[in-house]
Amino acid sequence: MKQLLLIDKQEQALRVSRVVDGMKAASTDAVLLADNASKYYLTGRVYAGYIYVTVNGDVTCFVQRPVELDGPEVVYIRKPEELPSVIRDIPSRLGLELDIMSYSNVGRLKAIFPDSEIDNASTVMRRAREIKTPAEIALISESGVRQERVYRRVPHLYREGMTDIELQVEIERVSRLEGCLGQFRISGDSMELFMANIITGDNADAPSPYDFAMGGAGMSPSLPVGANGSEIKPGYTVMVDVNGNYTGYMTDMTRVYSLGEICDEAKKAHECSCRIHRELTEAGRPGTEAKALYERAIEIVTEEGLRHLFMGHRQHARFIGHGVGIEINELPVIAPRSRDIIRPGQVIALEPKFVIPGVGAVGVENTYVVTENGWECLTNAPEDITGLR
């Protein structure tokens, strides 16, 4: 038998207390969570089944698979219909992850708990996970350290005549050998990206269906994002935005490389991205509105005459940063209509990027942890555009 719980009891209590705070604010009596990210957050382990948390802070893990997990909180079930017989007090108001769970699965649980009013626990969980614990920040930092090592190797992976996808495959390999788990967790099922977004030349200006900061046509219309097989040519930039999931907690990081001399506009835009990083990490003291950071970035790019290239050219992304942790799209969102407030413990990927038609994309992405004393960068590789070879 193996202990189900893979985080400290105290650490679990801290995370549970965040969930309970949200439940109290929403007047929810208990939450029944099925999302892998939620179970991982509250136990340190992914398993098949549910985690049940009451407003008193009691936790029960209803496990379907794997066999042989153990611990005081473990109850094996074969199917959710058994839940009412193993839950002591049926909650009046039961929270489910309505933003994630399928309509059919919610319907099944509603039928199992006919007397419970159903609340949406998605916001409770997103808000709980928004503020990272010190243990979570340590795991994110560890991912950042390993991701840095990979980025430092990128120039040495380039060989003359390579295409974007060929370079990507070699970056994927060194990432994996460095311990990257590969799996790129995204909340919701409409976004898809395999390992990395590596774009060069005109492909940077190919609009994608996905809500990522940068597009690219991709290798197939079944996955239309990222590298499209373009040869890396002199005068092009190569933007490398690669999966940073080394510990179950991700960092998000982008660096730009170039082949030969690139145009002044690309250099200027890259400089502007670095300026936005400096100003926003300075301005983003706890208590600041996330949307104010977005607006400040727009002021800067407008002042520098670069607005038409900011966050895309033919198609523009409407955010410049996002929380990151177990998933790549966590709170807060740095966007025009965000209601999020900058707070200590948030981990934020900031990605002011530009598309330079005919050249490629430029800009830096770093992951920061917000502290009482300011933003601390967790992805510390050099930020200049680096020559390939």
- The footprint of its own copies (CB under 8 A) covers 6, 34-36, 40, 44-49, 64-68, 96, 98-104, 106-107, 120, 122, 165-166, 168-170, 172-173, 176-177, 179, 181-183, 188-190, 192, 194-195, 206-211, 215, 219-224, 247-248, 314-315, 326
Which residues lie below 8 Å from residue 211, measured CB to CB, with a gap of 6+?
Answer: 190, 191, 317
CB nearer to its own copies: pick between 115 and 189 = 189
Q: How far is the CB of 64 from its own copies (least distance, A)?
A: 8
Side chain identity, residue 202: D
Q: How far is the CB of 371 from its own copies (least distance, A)?
A: 25
Q: For the residues of 25-64, what is the DSSP string, one character each?
A: HHT-SEEEE--HHHHHHHHS---EEEEEEETT--EEEEEE
CB nearer to its own copies: pick between 277 and 353 = 353
Side chain identity, residue 335: A
CB nearer to its own copies: pick between 167 and 300 = 167
3-state DSSP assignment of residue 154? helix
Cα dihedral 48, 54, 58, 61 in deg (nearest 10):
-10
Q: How far apart are CA 299 and CA 307, in angstroms?
A: 9
Task: Give phi and psi for 75, each to the nearest 5.
Answer: -130, 120
Q: How far is the CB of 50 from its own copies (least distance, A)?
A: 11
Q: How far apart are CA 371 and CA 375, in angstroms?
A: 6
Q: Cα(first)–Cα(last) distance of the chain, in Å?
A: 51
Q: How far is the CB of 281 from its own copies (least distance, A)?
A: 28
Q: How far is the CB of 235 from its own copies (least distance, A)?
A: 25
CB nearer to its own copies: pick between 226 and 332 = 226
CB nearer to its own copies: pick between 22 and 284 = 22
CB nearer to its own copies: pick between 165 and 292 = 165
Q: How far is the CB of 319 from its own copies (least distance, A)?
A: 14
